[in-house]
Structures are given as C-alpha cells and as structure tokens.
Amino acid sequence: MPLINIIPGEKIPVAPMNVRLPAWRVPGWLLVFWWLARGLFRLTVLAVRYWWLTAPAVLVLWVRAEFGGLVLAGVVLALVTGCAAWWRWHPGSWLRFGWYPLVSRVRALVVYRRRWASVMATCGLATAFAGDRYVPQLLRVRCDRYGDEVTVRMLPGQIPDDWGQAAERLAYAFRLRAGQARSAARPDRVVLRFVRRDPLAGIVAPLPVPEVPDLDGLALGVDEDGQPYRLRLAGSHVLIAGATGSGKGSVLWSLIRSLAGGIRSGLVELWAFDPKGGMELAAGVPLFARFAYDDPDGMAGVLEEAVKRMRLRAARLRGVTRQHVPTPEEPLIVLVVDELAALTAYITDRKVRDRIKESLGLLLSQGRAVGVHVVAALQDPRKDVLPFRDLFPTRIGLRLTEPEQVDMVLGDAARDRGALCDRIPESTPGVGFVVLDGVREPVRVRFAYLTDDDIRQLGRDYRRLCDNTDNDGQEVTR
C-alpha cells in the first residue's frame, strides 16, 4: 500500500460520494397498456357524464346493425311524431320536461363548459396557489324561455357579492344580454341568471282586480320569469324613485288598481297627495277618501289628521293585538304621495315644511303595525331631499339618471347585485328593480300600464260606497 506524504497546513481533498441507485426498468408494453387504460378511463367518464349523447348514439348503432336502416328510420319518425303530438296537446309539460332539459344540456356543453376555465380567469374568478390553478366548478345549467340559470360552486373565500360584481362581465363573455347573481340554498354555491331574451320588453296590460285585496301579495306586474309579480304591502311602506318618464305612474296606479276591490267594500281608505296641482291623480278621485293638492298648508293638515287617526287606533289596539287587521270599521289607510320631494324639500315656508316632515316621520316609524301605510314617489333621491328613506322597507328603483342614485334609493351595493337602474332604456317605462328589507337580491319587474281611460273606468267601477266628492273634484272628505 503506497504511503501518502502529508504536508502540515495543507488541506486534504475530500473524495465525492458515489451512491448508485437501483435501476427500475419498465417494459415498453406496460407503458403502452397504462396509456391505453388511462385513455379508456377518460372516455368512460365522458360517456357517463354525457349519457344523453352516448346512449342515443349506441341505441342508433344497435338498431341499425340489428334491424337495418329502414327500421331505424321508422323509429326516428315515430319518436318525432310522438314529440310533436306531445307539444301539440300539452305544450306546458313538453317544454318543462322535454324541450328545456335538452336545451339546458346542449347549452351547458356548447356555451358554458367549452369556455368555462378561460372566462373564469379573464373575469377574475379563478385563482392560483402553490403553482396550481383553481377554477370554480360549474354544477348545473337550467334554461327556460327567457334565459339560463347557472349554479356554481364557489372557491373558498368567495361570496355572492363577488359574483354579483362580475355578473355583467360574465354575461358579455358568454355573449348574453345581462347577468345577475344571487345566493343559493347552500352557502358554498351561487346562482347566476343570464338573460337571452328580455321578458319585459312588451307593455304589461292591467291585471285583474281581486274582490278582496291580498295585502301579502298585491299583483302589480310581471317579473323576469314571466310570472305575476306580487308586492307585500302589509307591514311595509313603499318608496318609488325614477326619472321623468320612467313609469312612476304605472307603479302607483297598478297598486291602486290592486286595492280597488277593498276600496269599494270599505276595507281600504286611500288618501292621495298630489303637489303638482292634481294633474297626476285627479282621474282617480272617486277612489279617494282624501285628496289634497296644490295647497301645502292643507296637505300638512291632512297629514296631521292621519297622525291623529294612527294614534287613536294605536290606543284602541294596545294590549289587544300587535298587527292591525282591516275591517270596514277599521280600514287600512294608504297614503299615496305622487311627488314626495315637493313636500319635504321644495316648500318655501319652513314652518309648513317642518310640519310635513314631522308628520311623515311619525307615520313612517309608527304606522305599519296599526294599518297606516305610506306609498311615496319622487324623482330626486338625494339625502337632503328625502331624509328618512331608511324608513321604507320596500324600495322600487325605476330608470335613474346616474349610477350613484341606485345605491341612494335601493341601498348600499344594490347596483353591484344587479340593479342597473341607470341602464334601463327610455323605451321601457315601468321597468324597475324592487328591493325588500332582509333580501339581498333585487327583483326586476315591469309594472302594468293603465291608460287614462283605464283609470277613469276603474274609478267608475270601484268608487267608494261613501263617496263625498264634490262636482269640482276638490278635496275628498269623509
């Protein structure tokens, strides 16, 4: 063994470690088998997921192979004839159980799943963590006559408001008209509503008048599903805001029409205030128990009388019940104000203005439980014009001129949740969004339109039994 001379102070080089790992040799046929098995598994998953395509294809191939093309043509003809007969004799069930489920599956595959990941990324709803990309899961697509309803499982950390802010971008990304997001039954899911065809493009005719008004659901118009929209008046006040020509009269007269049966029977008393000199509401004078206009001091006096009625009724009901039930002896009192800003901001007499504000504040804060309700419309939703807008549990936003006005009327973040009042076209008066206290998502509605002839006919058919209107249409008193 040779000797190694070690020089003092010199470093001895360390030899590199040589570790030999065991070699694993995989046969080529096994790699090919694994690749084929993986592809077969993916095809099986796709075949099961899209069974509505694969099952008919397999059935067609089997019939063609076993019985020939003539039998296959007969089967297809019989199937088409059966569907046509189903559609002819019962179109409602055909659309619900036959056509729309098929359209939903086709649109889910062709429109949504094909571009889902890329749209989520470009709209800011996908994220990345530790080098991995996470995309919200598309769960279900349901189609109807007017649009698509898409159910999505959100990523951890997302809330429905995030999807509400991106709903408009999502609609444009999928080449659709408009989008809106709302909460689902489960907290990890959100439901997107995309509109293909506007169901509110046409004018809504006056709805039938019930003999006894349902205060829990007054039919006023049509919603986006094409169903009658019902507004709860019991235990609520209603605020209506919209620019000139937006259709505030449609809302007011639809509400009055839905109460007309109760007005005739004495269950409802309608007190009308028209600061514009009576031009807007004068056609319905036979329906009103009070009609005040033009004179601010007179309107302040009528409001103060309503406060007195409210307090007397509250004293009678104290200890008896917590919620008033209308009767002919104790009717529901509905105060309809056509232009609220003219009473709260535009009156030059400060004393009269303060009297009106005080009376309205008392009615709005104490009137609901004793059956005294305020329905008010205005054009200018600024805070200095309407200082007590928070006392209106039900708010209706028609066409507004500025995006900021939407949140002023309907509440914070209402526009982000889909209430695009500033984008309602002038060609669709009576279209608006309704927001209720405790309900996050606004509802898009088109209210029924009543012509002047409809209003006059309504007054003739449902005039009050104790009508004390004078011949000149002056203030109605009881």
In terms of domains, do 251 and 288 share one? yes
Instruction: Flag whether 261 is marked binding.
Output: no
pLDDT at 305: 93
pLDDT at 257: 93
Q: Going by C-beta distance under 8 Å and a sequence separation of 6 or more, which residues neighbour residue 108? A: 138, 140, 141
The 3-state DSSP class for residue 349 equals coil
Instruction: Flag whether 246 is marked binding.
Output: yes
Q: Give tens-digit pLDDT for 342-356.
A: 888 777 788 888 898
Is 175 part of a structural domain of the chain?
yes
- Tokens 């592809």 — which residue? 39
Q: How far is residue 344's CA from residue 279's CA, in Å, rounded to a whole number?
A: 19
Nearest residue to 166 via CA among 204, 134, 212, 120: 120
In terms of domains, do 185 and 222 share one? no
Q: Which has the minimum average pLDDT: 357-366, 381-390, 458-467? A: 381-390
In terms of domains, do 187 and 301 share one? no
Q: Name the band, by pLDDT with cuts 50, 70 and 90, for residue 472.
A: very low
Using the 8-state DSSP alphabet, how is residue 245 labeled? Answer: T
Burial of 472 (0-12, 13-18, 19+ CB in 10 A): exposed
Q: Give tens-digit pLDDT for 138-162.
A: 999 999 888 899 999 999 999 988 8
In terms of domains, do 187 and 292 share one? no
Q: How far is residue 343's CA from residue 210's CA, in Å, rounded to a whole number?
A: 32
Instruction: Flag whether 248 is marked binding.
Output: yes
Quick count: other Cβ atoms within 10 Å of Cβ 420? 21
Is 127 part of a structural domain of the chain?
yes
pLDDT at 470: 42
End-to-end CA distance of the chain: 131
Q: Give tens-digit pLDDT for 203-260.
A: 899 999 999 999 999 999 998 878 899 999 988 999 999 998 899 999 999 999 999 9
pLDDT at 5: 55
In terms of domains, do 111 and 172 share one? yes
The 3-state DSSP class for residue 336 equals strand
Q: Name the band, by pLDDT with cuts 50, 70 and 90, for residue 78.
A: confident
Split into its structural domains, the chain has a count of: 3
Compute the half-sphere exposure of residue 169: CA atoms within 13 Å on the CB side of its CA.
14
Q: Going by C-beta distance under 8 Å and a sequence separation of 6 or more, which residues neighbour residue 380? A: 341, 345, 386
* CA angle in degrees (0–180, nearest 5) for 368-373-374: 130
Q: How far is residue 466's CA from residue 17's CA, in Å, rounded to a whole number?
A: 110
Domain boundary pick from 162, 195, 228: 195
Structure tokens, 285: 């004078």
pLDDT average, residue stretch 95-120 = 90
In terms of domains, do 236 and 137 share one? no
Q: How far is residue 433's CA from residue 399's CA, in Å, rounded to a whole number?
A: 9
Is 471 part of a structural domain of the chain?
no
CATH number, position 148 = 3.30.980.40
Is 155 part of a structural domain of the chain?
yes
Q: Going by C-beta distance under 8 Å and a sequence separation of 6 or more, which residues neighbour residue 353? A: 296, 343, 344, 345, 347
Cα 173 versus chain centre, distance: 21
pLDDT at 468: 47
pLDDT at 434: 93
Is 98 part of a structural domain of the chain?
no
Is 204 part of a structural domain of the chain?
no
pTM: 0.77
Helix (H) or strand (E) holding 364: helix 350-366
Instruction: Flag whether 151 is marked binding.
Output: no
Is 407 part of a structural domain of the chain?
yes
pLDDT at 76: 84
Length of the chain: 478
pLDDT at 473: 37
In terms of domains, do 374 and 268 share one? yes
Give me the chain's average pLDDT, please: 84
User: Taking 80 as the threshold, does the pLDDT of residue 45 lie above it?
Assistant: no
Quick count: other Cβ atoms within 10 Å of Cβ 26? 8
pLDDT at 427: 86
In terms of domains, do 231 and 344 share one? yes
pLDDT average, residue stretch 418-424 = 87
- More confident: 285 or 23: 285
Domain region containing 72 = 47-78
User: Taking 70 as the threshold, does the pLDDT of residue 100 lie above it?
Assistant: yes
In terms of domains, do 182 and 294 share one? no
pLDDT at 466: 58
Instruction: Flag whether 130 is marked binding.
Output: no
In terms of domains, do 186 and 274 share one? no
